[in-house]
Amino acid sequence: MDFSGNHILTIDQFDRGGVEALFNVADKMVPFANRDRITKVLDGAILGSMFFEASTRTRISFGSAFNLLGGSVRETTGFEHSAIAKGESLYDTARVLSGYSDVIVMRHPENGSVQEFSKASRVPVLNGGDGTNEHPSQALLDLYTIKNELAFRGRGIDRLRIAMVGDLKFGRTVHSLCKLLALFKDIRVVLVSPEELKMPANLVEYLREQDQVVIESDALEESISNVDIVYSTRIQEERFNSQEEADIYRGRFRLNQTIYTANCEPNTVIMHPLPRDSRENARELDEDLNDNPNLAIFRQTDNGILVRMALFALVLDVENEINSSARDTIWYTAGRSL
Amino acid sequence: MDFSGNHILTIDQFDRGGVEALFNVADKMVPFANRDRITKVLDGAILGSMFFEASTRTRISFGSAFNLLGGSVRETTGFEHSAIAKGESLYDTARVLSGYSDVIVMRHPENGSVQEFSKASRVPVLNGGDGTNEHPSQALLDLYTIKNELAFRGRGIDRLRIAMVGDLKFGRTVHSLCKLLALFKDIRVVLVSPEELKMPANLVEYLREQDQVVIESDALEESISNVDIVYSTRIQEERFNSQEEADIYRGRFRLNQTIYTANCEPNTVIMHPLPRDSRENARELDEDLNDNPNLAIFRQTDNGILVRMALFALVLDVENEINSSARDTIWYTAGRSL
Amino acid sequence: MDFSGNHILTIDQFDRGGVEALFNVADKMVPFANRDRITKVLDGAILGSMFFEASTRTRISFGSAFNLLGGSVRETTGFEHSAIAKGESLYDTARVLSGYSDVIVMRHPENGSVQEFSKASRVPVLNGGDGTNEHPSQALLDLYTIKNELAFRGRGIDRLRIAMVGDLKFGRTVHSLCKLLALFKDIRVVLVSPEELKMPANLVEYLREQDQVVIESDALEESISNVDIVYSTRIQEERFNSQEEADIYRGRFRLNQTIYTANCEPNTVIMHPLPRDSRENARELDEDLNDNPNLAIFRQTDNGILVRMALFALVLDVENEINSSARDTIWYTAGRSL
């Protein structure tokens, strides 16, 4: 898989070798993300951060990742009313905006829009989320987190046992994660959801075609007893017809420290794509888990910086130059690490 | 014409020597805009980008131009409700905001506001568009594009033959371009518009006083047969009383490849200030022209970066220092050029 | 008082030694804020500028201060609807966002929110204003301005005579300034307000407990005749039940050049937290004072850059490294100074 100069639009672009190459570069980013060292490898380069839909943390994560490589960021947030309203095609928008930067990250509310934009772009485009369709960097940081958490236990991704819990119908992240996991060997996926919010059948079928084991369930406690990872998700209430309909499912599967202790193996890792819903009637991951060292949800978002730095470095073909301009940091950096 | 430390508020500030000096500096920016080289000549300087009216691409073009010179950008978008609502004068706003940066680019919905702001500013102010009044960098990048396109044909701007087509009444860019063209010799301007959307009489008169030839017409095909440039414009629908009134004129003059081939000289250059209206009932420049190498509309927006870099360099008096801090780029830059 | 790695949440954290240490560092920032020199001491560091409530000038002042130290800025403006609406706790928000930067400045409409956020943040947090509660950098820049203006007259802050005028009930800045002044010796505060908009009794009491002299009055002219500083404030109309109620008090105390000449000692300094209300019915500081060299209101906002640079330098523990990476500026910088 060749990254240099290419768009990153979908996790379907990734084979196992591509994932591993990306993760190797992400590992090299640790000293920079930890602020032990700084690099200026992209000094002079400009990221065009085009967020035609709000997503504060994805936007800032990409922007910080680019800054940490030494580059500058030019940004737009919210819909570009003017030009669209005046009848401009996405082709024209892409031709124009791609003249302003060296690489673009784009989020857009419409499925397929980033792909269409990328066809006319003169610089590499990273998909930061196009509607309900794709959000590849999220899936990659999830898998990178799984790799890291298992590595601490002396394991690789092969032979992973994972439970995915919650809204598996509308949750874009679990769909993408299933596709990525299918690239590995002897994966066992336990899918825990209400009947009405089951993982789409084509994804279950796809996993099984790749010789992975898939078990479907609607009971939480028995499903999390023999897994390495519990990947919990929020009810995607914005995708239901009404708040009331979402409330039927909200809070159905709640993990807290008591349930964890009673059911999980020691060191079972807890993940979540965030935001987690901490309201009284939801609490898919209770706050009493905050002191559990296996709660990996904030390591997950931190890993987003590493994975996005790696994507930029690979797409702009500087992954071997990172250290050539590096030096130690001199400011206060204690307390950063999780 | 002296740029150093001065505001750039109107194209009326420019004489022929000023235009040529600017274009010479813009030419020097090509290696940096193309990412063959990077310069840090404005490393440490701050651009205050004050867009009190939305204009994504003008804002990002100015910001990227400043980044390409090595500087940082601090930005505001949207109306500064709070201070204005609390009764602050534009004088106070200017005194305060000009303390935060080395140079300001400002867009504001009210005519004359940028000029008023500049009087109290302690740093140079570039007008990024004040209502329907002035947008000097747009006119300058149009003229720079004309210079470049003709240079490829071994010509200068003198003796230019240009057709301006569409909404010549409300189109701010064609008004400013006429003023700039008047600085050159033996210009022949063919103005093609509906009777109701004619170029203002004072501008026609002004061109003739400078001994330029002006021809007015309401027929497209015969008007574009003997010109170097066809400069097409959009119907400025936001300036009409109703959508319906705008629809009367929309789509009146459509250029497509068939009409181009049948009427234009080989190599006639096609320009447009963008956005072009690609909706079914408009299409002043048909998408079938996208493969025509004489379609210069995206080279135009790219030239905006060069012209804005040159304006910053001249106003901040570093035009002769650009190369002193320059070095080669090391990241992927293929595919950028148009 | 130890700044390194600490949050700056309230002026209650400051003792006299802390204030003086801060001001010593602010003094060192003058050549950089004046653009005589540039420093890159925070090159590679990222400021997370989290403005969940609009405040253009506070936001840009902090951002420019960070840029002037060589750092980059990642920003959010407006309320982060998505995550909050999805039920995320402030704890989670803080854990996530603090992974993206080296230091955070945060403004938020709710009292106490920045303090709560800081508890979960892994990097130092500077309070940029939390509702009506605290805005410590504003109070510090006010006191720094007092120090500087008196220093020109060969005086220190001890034995200051100051009149605070206007809306002393709702004006957050005068409350904080009183607390800071209480750290010094022999302060004499004349409080001039309508009866209904008096300084809260607990602050008056606090000043007196520290052996400061407090005089309350509702007459302007006699109150400004024996003071070093007149600190005027705007009627905080957004805090009243109606525009009509605010109008009762608006314009009650107006200072103009005639009143100044007739009543004030020569060189009495005029301050205001800005924005000043320049509408006909307000004009707490008339525009005819703009040419009075003792009008310090724009020096005040300029000092905000110095104080914020100093806060960043101290919190990130680089206050002794500022000059190690410094060099002269090469671009046009004339006309900046007030």
Of the partner residues A60, A73, A298, the one whose CB lies closest to the CB of residue C76: A60
* Residue C155, helix vs strand vs coil: coil
CA distance A41 to chain B (A): 8
pLDDT band, residue A1 (cuts 50/70/90): confident
Annotation says A336 is catalytic: no
DSSP structural state of residue C195: G
Evaluate if residue A304 carries a pLDDT over 90: yes
Q: Tell me the CB-side half-sphere exposure of residue A182, using CA atoms within 13 A.
A: 20
Token code pair at residue C264: 């004030």
Where are chain A's structural domains?
11-135+301-328, 137-298
Question: Hey, is the C-beta of B71 within 8 angstroms of any chain A C-beta?
Answer: no
Catalytic choice (B58, B93, B173, B268): B58
What pLDDT, in 10s, does the model give residues A37-88? 999 999 999 999 999 988 899 999 999 999 999 999 999 987 655 676 688 9
Give percent of chain C with pLDDT exceeding 90: 83
Evaluate if residue C224 carries a pLDDT over 80: yes
Secondary structure of A101-137 in HEC code, one letter for each residue: CCEEEEEECCCCHHHHHHHHCCCCEEEEEECCCECHH
Evaluate if residue C81 carries a pLDDT over 60: no
Q: Which residues of C are catalytic?
A: 57-58, 86, 107, 135
Contact criterion met (CB < 8 Å) for B64 and A45: no
pLDDT at A80: 59
- B9/C82: higher pLDDT: B9
Distances (CA, A) of B246 to A86, B220, B271: 12, 19, 22
Same CATH fold, C137-298 and C11-135+303-328? yes
Show the beta-strand stretches assigned E in chain B.
37-38, 46-51, 72-77, 103-108, 125-130, 161-165, 188-192, 213-217, 229-232, 269-271, 327-328
- A107 contact residues in C (CB cutoff 8 A): none
Mean pLDDT of C48-57: 92
DSSP structural state of residue B36: S
Q: How far apart are CA A251 and CA A338, in angstroms?
A: 28
| Ranges under pLDDT 70 in chain B | 79-82, 84-85, 337-338
Give the number of other CB atoms < 10 A from CB of residue B150.
18
- A315 contact residues in B (CB cutoff 8 A): 332
Q: How far apart are CA B198 and CA B194, in angstroms?
A: 6
Token code pair at residue C278: 């320049």
The arrangement of secondary structure in C11-135+303-328, i.e. its CATH architecture, is 3-Layer(aba) Sandwich (3.40)
**β-bridge pairing C46-51 and B229-232:** unpaired
CA distance B215 to chain A (A): 29
pLDDT at B337: 65
Catalytic choice (A28, A59, A135, A147): A135
pLDDT at A79: 66
Evaluate if residue C83 carries a pLDDT over 80: no
Contact criterion met (CB < 8 Å) for B76 and C68: no
Of 1.10.150.20, 3.40.1350.10, 3.40.50.300, 3.40.50.1370, which CATH number belongs to A137-298? 3.40.50.1370
* Residue B112, helix vs strand vs coil: coil
pLDDT at C245: 87
Q: How far apart are CA A301 and CA A308, in angstroms?
A: 11
Question: Mutate which of A4, A74, A97, A98 to disrupt the B interface (most B C-beta within 10 Å)?
Answer: A74
Evaluate if residue C338 carries a pLDDT over 60: no
Q: Tell me what ipTM this predicted complex has.
A: 0.95
Evaluate if residue C97 carries a pLDDT over 90: yes
Mean pLDDT of A130-159: 95
Give percent of chain A with pLDDT exceeding 90: 83
Contact criterion met (CB < 8 Å) for B315 and C332: yes
Residue pair A288/A248 in contact by the 8 Å Cβ criterion: no
A277 contact partners, CB below 8 Å, separation of at least 6 = A234, A235, A250, A283, A284, C86, C87, C88
**β-bridge pairing A327-328 and A37-38:** antiparallel
Evaluate if residue A255 carries a pLDDT over 90: yes
- B29 contact residues in A (CB cutoff 8 A): none
Annotation says B135 is catalytic: yes
Amino acid letter for position B183 = L
pLDDT at A171: 87
Q: Distance from CA of residue B194 to its chain's centroid?
A: 24
What pLDDT, in 10s, does the model give residues C227-241? 999 999 998 888 888
A104 contact partners, CB below 8 Å, separation of at least 6 = A47, A48, A49, A50, A97, A98, A121, A123, A124, A125, A126
Of the partner residues B60, B275, B276, the one whose CB lies closest to the CB of residue A74: B60
CA distance A193 to chain B (A): 43
* Residue C220, helix vs strand vs coil: helix
B264 contact partners, CB below 8 Å, separation of at least 6 = B224, B225, B227, B230
**Residues in a beta bridge with A8:** A126
Q: How far apart are CA A203 and CA C184, in angstroms?
A: 70
Q: How far apart are CA A27 and CA A103, in angstroms?
A: 22
Q: How many CB pairs under 8 A join B and C?
A: 110
Token code pair at residue C94: 């803080």
pLDDT at B338: 56
Q: How many CB pairs under 8 A join A and B?
A: 111
> Which residue from B26, C316, C247 is spatially nearest to A331, judged by alpha carbons?
C316
C190 contact partners, CB below 8 Å, separation of at least 6 = C161, C162, C163, C164, C215, C216, C217, C223, C224, C227
**Residues in a beta bridge with B104:** B48, B125
DSSP structural state of residue B279: S
> Which residue from C83, C61, C57, C82 is spatially nearest to C73, judged by alpha carbons?
C61
Question: Hey, is the C-beta of A116 within 8 angstroms of any chain B C-beta?
Answer: no
What pLDDT, in 10s, does the model give residues A181-225? 999 999 999 999 999 999 999 999 999 999 999 999 999 999 999
- B38 contact residues in A (CB cutoff 8 A): 43-44
Question: Hey, is the C-beta of C104 within 8 angstroms of any chain A C-beta?
Answer: no
Contact criterion met (CB < 8 Å) for C56 and B315: no
CA distance C12 to chain A (A): 23
Catalytic choice (B7, B28, B59, B107): B107
Annotation says A107 is catalytic: yes
Give the number of other CB atoms < 10 A from CB of residue C158.
10
B161 contact partners, CB below 8 Å, separation of at least 6 = B187, B188, B190, B226, B227, B228, B229
Contact criterion met (CB < 8 Å) for B60 and A102: no
Evaluate if residue A126 carries a pLDDT over 80: yes
Question: Hey, is the C-beta of B91 within 8 angstroms of any chain C C-beta?
Answer: yes
Class of domain A11-135+301-328: alpha beta
Residues 275-294 of C with CB under 8 A from B: 275-279, 282, 287, 290
Residues 292-321 of B with CB under 8 A from A: 298, 301-302, 305
Question: Hey, is the C-beta of B100 within 8 angstroms of any chain C C-beta?
Answer: yes
Q: What is the DSSP string of B164-200?
A: EES-TTT-HHHHHHHHHHTTSSS-EEEEE--GGGPPP
Mean pLDDT of A225-233: 97
Distances (CA, A) of C96 to A57, A129, A249, A273, C123: 8, 19, 26, 11, 11
pLDDT band, residue C39 (cuts 50/70/90): very high
Of the partner residues A89, A92, A316, the one whose CB lies closest to the CB of residue B332: A316
What pLDDT, in 10s, does the model give residues A164-176? 999 999 988 999 9
Q: Tell me the CB-side half-sphere exposure of residue C299, using CA atoms within 13 A.
A: 18
Closest alpha carbon within chain B to A316: B332
Q: How far apart are CA A322 and CA A316, in angstroms?
A: 12
Annotation says A28 is catalytic: no
pLDDT at B256: 97
Question: Hey, is the C-beta of B96 within 8 angstroms of any chain C C-beta?
Answer: yes
CA distance B151 to chain C (A): 32
